[in-house]
Structure 1
Amino acid sequence: MSNNQTVKVQLVRSPIGTKESHRATVRGLGLRKLNSISELKDTPEVRGMINKISYLVRVL
């Protein structure tokens, strides 16, 4: 993880067929298409969102 307190997240599985709340979480993290990468502040809220959809994303 970089020193400026950010975390990069990549969408590696399609959210199609998942719960609506999980799809909303993907959108909330700023992820759109497969393999898209979003750089976010490393906060407990963001970590919780990543944990919720851990089966769809990869932390870089």
Structure 2
Amino acid sequence: MANPKMITVRLVKSPNSTPERHRQCVRALGLNKLNDVRELKDSPQVRGLINKVNYLVAVEG
């Protein structure tokens, strides 16, 4: 069975002084500190979180 596609997400901007819902999205992605990197399974739920906070994160793959 093939491995599921993975997306690498990096927090590039601080979520301070952003709406609470956006901070919750960043936490849901598993990002805590600036330049934190997480490799997440490519799914519609993860894509939606990334889309909501696209000005705070960078997708690397």
The TM-score, its normalising length taken from structure 1, stands at 0.93
What's the % identity of the aligned pairs?
57
Give 4+ residue runs of structure 1 displaced > 6 Å after superposition: none
Question: Gaps (5+ residues) in structure 1?
Answer: none
- Which of 1 and 2 has greater Rg? 2
- Distance (Å, rounded) in 2 between the aligned partners of 1:16 and 1:8: 22
RMSD: 1.0
Residue correspondences, number: 58
Shift of 1:4: 4.0
Question: 1:2-59 deviations in whole A, cap 9, x for unaligned?
Answer: x740100000000000000000000000000000001100001100000000000000
Question: What secondary structure does 1:9 align onto?
Answer: strand
The TM-score, its normalising length taken from structure 2, stands at 0.91
Aligned amino acid, residue 20 of structure 1? E
- Distance (Å, rounded) in 2 between the aligned partners of 1:17 and 1:55: 13
- Distance (Å, rounded) in 1 between the aligned partners of 2:37 and 2:4: 17
